[in-house]
Structure 1
Amino acid sequence: MESICYFRKDGVYMGASLKQFQKMYFIFYFTIATFWAFAVPYLNSLEISNTKIGVIISLMIFAGVIGQFITGYLCDIKNTIKKIFIVYMILLCCSVALFFQSQNITYIIILISIIGFFQSSVMALGDSWVLESSSEIKENFGSIRALGSAGWGIAAVFVGKVIDKTGWHSLYIIYIICTVVLFFTLLNMQDAKGKSNGVNPLEPITSREIKELFFNKQYIQLLVIFFLLFSALQAVGMFSQIIINNYGGTKFQVGLYLFVAAFSEIPILFLAKLLRVRYKLSQLLIFSSFALTFRMILVAFSSNISLIIALGSFQIVTFSIIVFISKYLIDEISPAKLKTMSQMIAMAVYMGLSGIFSTTLSGWLADVIGIKNMLIFQGVLCFFAFLLSLRYHMYYYPKAKITHLQS
């Protein structure tokens, strides 16, 4: 893949940095998918009920919420992302290796909580690393994230095939190998934080600055909207796999669904920079929230494995748009000193807390009223997010009333 070449004002060549991030994201998401894409099917293979799976995944996500709050603050006060990222990946690798060797429910709960703490943190840190790098790198977040989707999709198919042939034990071996490759990739990459970000590392972050972040109305409105949207995305992602299993699908077919979903994200992510120029972020938010509402209804009424797999392509107008606009919308209202914390807290809420809400409630509703009715309920919540998106656009963007917090 061609690397886009950039020069900063001081004449430093930026193409290599962009290429490094693209390579890192591909390997990183390939690694993460090895666990995350098959965590639910693995628990399902142990004949654990939907309700219990929902609770277990919720514990992982809750641990991730705690991890993101702690990690975001830690990165800002220590003024580093790279060092913490590397340490977390090593600890995450050890936890995943133990997880796929255990069938005891107590050990599974303990390990998945540890995994959640580190996995959610490194996923958020990767995005913050990009957004806090040079403006050229930041503007190309979409193309960088696209390589992550490619890594995820290829891992889903490859690992799914390996599981069908060799069993679950092969997952931790793949994960260890990928983590080692990722480690060597990270060694030569420049940390996003330091003197170059315009923030004095010796200047402490005050409680007043943190309080202003939590009481910023625009920030809170975005958290509510993305909370509802990511809740639906996690529900449809989790239960599409369960529906495939319920219809007698193989692990390869689960992997194929994930492959279709992941590769459908890539075109839009590569076009993210162009979309930002042609449309307001709030307009993209309105469109994607409506598309997600439509997707939830279609999945609810799906009747076979092929259709479920095909509907994974709706990622192109839902997740792929939502994931990059969420980063930019949060970034544009975040103070310089709290860039990492703002993103980490946001992800803790709209990917963490929403995940707890989604997996726990959806798992319970699926057992009580059925998967179809549960997905319709999530579709109603998406429509509410669509209405809130309309309000956000009308209130802020026509008047360009973006509330920048003062650091």
Structure 2
Amino acid sequence: MQTQFDRQKSSAGSKLVHLSALYLFIYYGLGAFTPLIMQYYQSINLTGTQIGLISATTPIVSIVTQPLWGMICDKFQIRKGVLVLTLLVSGLIGLLFPAVSTFALVLILYTLLSVFQSAVVPVSDSIALGYVKKYQLQFGDIRMWGAVGFALAAFVTGLLIERWGPSVIFISYFAAMVAAILFLQRVPVETAAAPKFTTSMLAGIKDLLKLPRFLLFLAASFFVFGSINANNIWFSLYYQEIGGTVAGVGLAFLLFAGSEAPCMKLAGYCARRWGLELTILLAASVSAVRWFWYSSAPSTTAVIALFFIQGISVGFYLATAAQFVRENTPAALQVTALALFFSVGHGLGTMLCNLTAGWIQDTYSTLSIYSFFGSVTILGLIPLLLIRFGPWKAVEEKEDVGATG
């Protein structure tokens, strides 16, 4: 006869499967869209400057809309309803892209898409973290399925584009969002355990900006993360310019994303052995070398063969950056610190890099974009070196805030 413990264990396992599938399809949609959207832009003859302006839309919109979505979720306790809404509406907006071919209309659609898409990742993370906390699991065991979905989507969609054209991007995106909704319906929301979104980021910012190590890390992330995120948009154009195919772009992203998971585990070992600061410095240094190497127009074979550089640079940085923020800010301000970190690195830094990359592409060449990325990353190394060798010490307060994953 099945005991209550066995039933709880079976129920937890079932929820884990549904949450993993939710992440698989959310990131499958993002993997079909983000790395390959350049194929659509090229098909409607947008200029580099126009592409840069459109690509800068998401980080600008997210800075405003993510806190608003968070307040709606907290006030009305409707995380699941908000996630269903944003998944469905963003998928439907995606289907409209093949019907437009002018810069103005694409910009409007992309802005609308960003409003709803900006809620998908933080709200799904909130739901998953509530489940993880209740059952004492590792968030990484769920989140890794997002990396799998992203990698598979980039590869499969790249193959399909070569056969049926860029419209496949939006069909794949919509189908993935619908599939995610279907699995979301089987996921109960652990309301009591789910972490709250901050309702005001302004309250603790003044105190955080008095911390030299945190301020320097914000400056570093502005440059390092900005170029990393912008590469996701411009790599497709770059890879074809050095002789690659659309299918090759998909293969490259499959290998790139696939290398991040094992490197994240390796980053944990390096951080324990040599410390967070040196591990982050290594990741940023490898990024700088990577971008300068790309600007020299290597063969596509070499770019594919050295795919693991993505894992060493991006995987190491992603695995250690949030931990550095947690360890170098007071426990009472860590939610605000993480929000500020993402806004500066993923938001403002990405916006600057995309806008500048568009101008460079029109004025000079796609290869010059990667010289710019390398130079920007070098600027990011300066504050990281100051953190490592400067006189400022870490925050004394080491209170555990119960962060998972």
TM range (shorter): 0.7 to 0.9
Distance 1:299 1:131 in 2: 37
What amino acid is the match of 2:149? G
Q: 1:28 to 1:114 in 2, by over 3 A?
A: same
Give the equivalent residue in structure 2 for 1:163.
161
Q: 1:174 to 1:368 in 2, by over 3 A?
A: closer
1:38 deviates by 1.6
Give the equivalent residue in structure 2 for 1:392.
387
Residue 177 of structure 1, aligned match among 175, 178, 195: 175
Deviates more, 1:353-362 or 1:370-379: 370-379
Distance 2:398 2:391 in 1: 9
Matched, 1:195 2:192: yes
Q: How does 1:246-395 map to 2 (within 5 A)?
A: 246-270=241-265, 277-278=272-273, 280-331=275-326, 333=329, 339=335, 343-394=338-389
Q: 1:42 to 1:275 in 2, by over 3 A?
A: same
1:385 deviates by 1.9
Give the equivalent residue in structure 2 for 1:83.
81
Count of matched residue positions in the alignment of Structure 1 and Structure 2: 393
1:386 deviates by 2.2
1:206 deviates by 7.1
Give the equivalent residue in structure 2 for 1:55.
53
What amino acid is the match of 2:106? I
Q: 1:279 to 1:235 in 2, by over 3 A?
A: same
Distance 1:156 1:296 in 2: 21
What amino acid is the match of 1:359? N
What amino acid is the match of 2:314? F
1:110 deviates by 0.6
Give the equivalent residue in structure 2 for 1:96.
94
- 1:244-291 Cα deviation digits (max 9, x unpaired): 222453321221221121112121235566566555433321221111
1:12 deviates by 10
- 1:27-67 Cα deviation digits (max 9, x unpaired): 21111112212212210222222122111211233223322
Q: 1:254 to 1:211 in 2, by over 3 A?
A: closer
Q: 1:380 to 1:247 in 2, by over 3 A?
A: closer
- 1:210-259 Cα deviation digits (max 9, x unpaired): 55566463544333222211112134333331122224533212212211
1:172 deviates by 2.9
- 1:72-91 Cα deviation digits (max 9, x unpaired): 44445555644332221112
Give unmatched runs, 5+ long, in structure 1.
1-6
Distance 2:134 2:221 in 1: 26
Q: 1:344 to 1:313 in 2, by over 3 A?
A: same
1:18 deviates by 4.7
Distance 1:358 1:198 in 2: 32
TM-score normalised according to structure 2 size? 0.82
Q: 1:70 to 1:206 in 2, by over 3 A?
A: closer
Give the equivalent residue in structure 2 for 1:4.
none
Distance 1:392 1:264 in 2: 28
Are the aligned partners of 1:396 and 1:402 in contact in 2 as well (CA < 8 Å)? no
Give the equivalent residue in structure 2 for 1:3.
none
Deviates more, 1:392-401 or 1:364-373: 392-401
Q: 1:303 to 1:116 in 2, by over 3 A?
A: same
Distance 1:356 1:78 in 2: 32
Residue 237 of structure 1, aligned match among 232, 241, 249: 232
Give the equivalent residue in structure 1 for 2:114.
116
Distance 1:358 1:240 in 2: 13
Are the aligned partners of 1:51 and 1:360 in contact in 2 as well (CA < 8 Å)? yes
Distance 1:42 1:291 in 2: 31
1:295 deviates by 1.0
Give the equivalent residue in structure 2 for 1:22.
20
Distance 1:106 1:43 in 2: 13
Distance 1:338 1:141 in 2: 18
1:311 deviates by 4.4
Distance 1:396 1:24 in 2: 45
Distance 1:80 1:337 in 2: 25
Are the aligned partners of 2:23 and 2:180 in contact in 1 as well (CA < 8 Å)? no
- 1:122-155 Cα deviation digits (max 9, x unpaired): 2344445555654598983444333222211111
Are the aligned partners of 2:260 and 2:315 in contact in 1 as well (CA < 8 Å)? yes
Are the aligned partners of 2:19 and 2:184 in contact in 1 as well (CA < 8 Å)? no
Q: How does 1:209-220 map to 2 (within 5 A)?
A: 209-211=203-205, 215=209, 217=211, 218-220=213-215
Distance 1:371 1:255 in 2: 19
Are the aligned partners of 1:288 and 1:317 in contact in 2 as well (CA < 8 Å)? yes
Q: 1:336 to 1:368 in 2, by over 3 A?
A: same
